[in-house]
Structure 1
């Protein structure tokens, strides 16, 4: 009998995360919305419920170690397992100048806050989820990175965000290596420039388009890749 998979998506109350949760639920995955504010999560869940998708909500503040542990524990309490972890929550707070922000204007607090959310948040969740995945011999971990973190094409602008995503890519490789070549897959993906609160209204892609590769990586077959970086379901350079 086929196992019904469960997923936890951080920052899933809006944007790309919301579309990932929606897409997984449409595939029959028991997707859980992780939201810093459960009220925001419930608003998102009600939208999906209107589509016939039953998606629960857990409080999840990736900046808080206890919150990460409690969110994973709550998913286990609800479903008895956790098969898929999507590290979607992230921030871009470089100032002044937003996307044009300079390294030479970077404030230490901006870098600390960015690394806390974009790197330490995923580390906390992976550390919490990996024991469950090892126990059940199955897992899919997807880190939402960015082309801005590619060393192959690294440039200027929003330096804290760029460095955090480059570090997230390193985390992806380390976690994939430590979890081995079995049936726990760890991959990173770039959603492209997406029309969200972060990407802005001029972005080229819809949230649905941005979510597609993450959904694909979340549901990889047993012979699927691990330790890779993908855009539009195709490998890209680190």
Structure 2
């Protein structure tokens, strides 16, 4: 059985057990659910325990997981197969909670709970869309719409060999441009005006955050930079198709 949650949530233990059994099953089945922050914190504990059972894979683990998971036809092959293989080298932290604002009506804080490394990973999807939009804007000469950090990362790649046409995509991989971008822009013993120094240090922090986010996605998704770039290129084609459709209309 599950351990008693830290928060009663104003419900009886039998009600909480039934609720969290359904929520755990839904999260494992679909990879992401939306709920309140308080329920999300308790749900992460239970889902992590189910994945631990999946990594063990013995008969006792299956019996204990069967007491919690419903719809065994869908959840058991995923817990003891796909998820156990995905998190084989991880010792914890199988889920991520992202706050998304407040619910209308009672103003309860809401969050998205998701399995790390899946195709529904919110961090992964956000990064792919962001990089695709930046690559598309840079290739079509919309540098004014770029932030200062992205402008520096992407345009420094084109300084030696600019694209022949505005419709050409970046000759250098956007992922490689981010990973190879230097994070130290202020060289020691360099005389700079105070305002220039502040701007360069802000740019350093921004580039470091971008590289850190990309590194986390590559590690959680177990992808190579080339595979991530392929996903970005596919998203760029979607943006180009949508833009062409709007233009023709």
* TM-score normalised to structure 2 length: 0.24
* TM-score normalised to structure 1 length: 0.25
Which structure shows the higher strand fraction?
1
Which structure shows the higher helix fraction?
2
